[in-house]
Amino acid sequence: LNQYGGLDSTYVPPGWDQWEAIVGGLARPNDPQKFNVNGTVETRVGHQTDILTERAADFLSTHAEQPMFLHLAYTAPHQSKTRTGWVPPLAAPRHEHAFDGLTPPTSPAYNEEDISDKPEPLQMPLLDEAGLAYTQALAEQRAEALLAVDEGVQQLVDALQAAGELDNTFFVFTSDNGYFLGEHRRRLGKHEHYEESSGVPLVIRGPGIPVGSTDAVVGGHDLAPTFLGVAESWGAVQDFVLDGRDLLPLAQDPSQPANRDLLIQAVRPASGGLGYFAVRSEDGWKYVRYANGSAEMYDLNTDPHELDNLAGKEEFAAVEQDLAQRLTAIEACSGDACR
């Protein structure tokens, strides 16, 4: 990201007291890993997820009694890379074949029967037997790769419990993207606006947060304001404007609406993909405008799998016009206007 690790593998961004980042072997989880440890490159041996867990648990055990922030970014269950190219994720050896024969969840969008209503560049052929087999392998090996993540999270919980700080700690669990497993005829991928790709888990656990869930529209840009909201009790001051909003009030009262639209975008000139801007509304609509002028629009309340493109249909012209205006407003906003 932002060429990190490419220009200078010893670079440490400002603001961190402890910095340990993978700069070699990122997609090869069972090979020796090169880490930038506070400006010095070290080689570590073992399964990548286990190494990350060990370092994170050590940090928690050392600093748990004082205010602290830990950002732990597991690579699993990202695809892995071998000498022959990209392959389904490689699990820790102890977890290999743990999910052989797993039946992945499917939806009506799986190998979608009719995609003639979607923009022409998105009209992929039906997945053949090889494509379907690959999605099966992805599902099995992603689940296997996540077993080490599950064990790692438990280790961190145990470390905080041992330090007596578990009930005084906020956990925020999320991901950088979703992923296709055969939906809309895509055997893999993560750059499209469809819910399987753009939707990610967001779980927040901590003091004052009740058990529950919400369908409110939130985004990754809300995380920094949320962390600052927690840190205010330690004396942190937010002295600059952020695009997102603090999610703690919503987490503490999941019944309240977010009352906002959310921008989804992807610009991919290097890969030849079709760039787009999209708006996801609080009331369950999605409108997508592509770089070639084509569009998609879905009512997620009645069509959660995005099978029926309503863009260009006369009976929905007023809705499309409204969403197009909202998209124009949000794609150019900043600060308070983006909240």
**Mean pLDDT, the chain, as a whole number?**
92
pLDDT at 106: 87
Cα–Cα distances in Å, from 165 out to 63, 150, 238, 270? 10, 20, 25, 46
Q: How many CB atoms lie within 10 A of CB 311?
A: 21
pLDDT at 71: 97
pLDDT at 1: 52
Which of 163, 166, 189 is closest to 177 using CA atoms?
189
pLDDT at 5: 55
Which residues, given as ranges, of the chain have pLDDT below 50? Answer: none
191 alpha carbon, distance to own chain's centre: 11
Structure tokens belonging to residue 274: 């079709």
CATH top class, domain 261-339: alpha beta
Can the peptide bond before residue 77 be classed as cis, meaning omega within 30 degrees of 0?
Answer: yes
267 alpha carbon, distance to own chain's centre: 17
pLDDT at 56: 97
Helix (H) / strand (E) element for 280: namely strand 276-281
Query: Which strands sit side by side in the sheet containing 295-299, from one edge to the other?
Result: 261-266, 276-281, 285-290, 295-299
Query: Which strands sit side by side in the sheet containing 40-44, from one edge to the other?
Result: 20-24, 33-37, 40-44
pLDDT at 268: 64
pLDDT at 162: 93
Which of 133, 31, 35 is closest to 90 using CA atoms?
31
pLDDT at 98: 98
pLDDT at 332: 83
pLDDT at 263: 94
Which residue, chain included where needed, has tokens 């592509």?
290
289 alpha carbon, distance to own chain's centre: 22
pLDDT at 267: 76
pLDDT at 269: 52
- Whole-number percent of the chain with pLDDT over 90: 77
